[in-house]
Chain A
Amino acid sequence: MELELELRRKIYNLIKKHPGIHFRELERKLNIATGNLQYHLQYLEKKNLIKSENDGGYVRYFPKDCKLDENGKKIMSFLRRKTSRHIILYLLSKESANNKDIAKDLNLSPSTVSWHLNNLINAGIVEKEKIGRESLFKIKNPEKIVDILITYKESFLDKIIDRFIETWEPIVLK
């Protein structure tokens, strides 16, 4: 009943497919007016179909039946931020690294890396280990992150289907 409206169903399906998606991303993907999107999101939340969570910088949306626990949702929020995601993936591949190496290999400034690392440490995703004068950073629970990455990785088929819909949309679907 709540999802009878095509646009509302579309918003819900997008949140289901991309748990942790934030408002601007939704707006960009759906190409609809801010007020309209706000209205539908409020409706879906009121009807208990989705849940919004503020991760400090963004309001993120999750489906109510989302299988992620609180920690998983937090990890997902960071994975949805480009720079944080790159740092997480880098640390996953290296096991541990210092700020200088991360900044050099990811082509970022040390202060940017430091800011993201602090956030990741505060969220309990990354841990800092001091060896002598050097600080090394490593992922606290790599298995969980890998698990989330595999579960929510957009498949090749998903992309093709999205493109198919985008192709037909201006011709017949509007």
Chain B
Amino acid sequence: MVVDVDEIIRLLSSILALLIFTISIIAYHRERRKKLFLVSLAFFFYALKGFLKVSDIFIPQKGEFIEIFANLLDFIILALFFMAIVMDK
């Protein structure tokens, strides 16, 4: 098992995203604004995507599925940010 710099950075980004997700979900519980919930979800999916990608290190035989799912998550993340920006309330 060889862990390269790229994967370490990806893992650190995922941990950071998880931390921001925790902060944002607490902020949502306090403020009860839907927009904050959307932003929280976006950070959660970002963390999920990162963890899925680094899971390659442990389960290398997953193949194409990870890439497709990661791309789908990218779309979901951007869609959530977009909704948070355009939503009325």
A interface residues (Cβ-Cβ under 8 A, vs B): 6, 9-10, 13, 157, 160-161, 164-165, 168, 171-173
Contact = CB atoms under 8 A, between A and B. Distances in A.
Given A172-B35, A172-B84, A173-B33, 11 more contacts: A6-B33, A9-B32, A161-B23, A161-B26, A161-B27, A164-B23, A164-B24, A164-B27, A165-B31, A172-B38, A173-B35
Contacts of B84: 172
A164 B32 CA distance: 14
Interface string B45-67: 00000000000000000000000
B30 A13 contact: yes
A51 B35 CA distance: 31
A154 to B, nearest CB: 13
B36 interface: yes
A160 B23 CA distance: 8
B80 to A, nearest CB: 10
29 contacts: A6-B33, A9-B32, A10-B31, A13-B30, A157-B26, A160-B23, A161-B23, A161-B26, A161-B27, A161-B30, A164-B20, A164-B23, A164-B24, A164-B27, A165-B27, A165-B31, A165-B36, A168-B35, A168-B36, A168-B39, A171-B85, A172-B35, A172-B38, A172-B81, A172-B84, A172-B85, A173-B33, A173-B35, A173-B36
- B interface bracket (residues with beta carbon within 8 Å of A): 10 to 19
Contacts of A164: 20, 23-24, 27
A161 to B, nearest CB: 5
Contacts of A168: 35-36, 39
Contacts of A13: 30
Contacts of A171: 85
Query: Across chains A and B, which 8 residue pairs bring their CB atoms closest together, nearest first?
Result: A172-B84, A161-B27, A172-B35, A164-B23, A164-B27, A165-B27, A172-B85, A161-B26
A158 to B, nearest CB: 9
Nearest to A17: B30
B46 to A, nearest CB: 15
B86 to A, nearest CB: 9
A147 B39 CA distance: 37
Contacts of A172: 35, 38-39, 81, 84-85
Contacts of A165: 27, 31, 36
Nearest to B24: A164
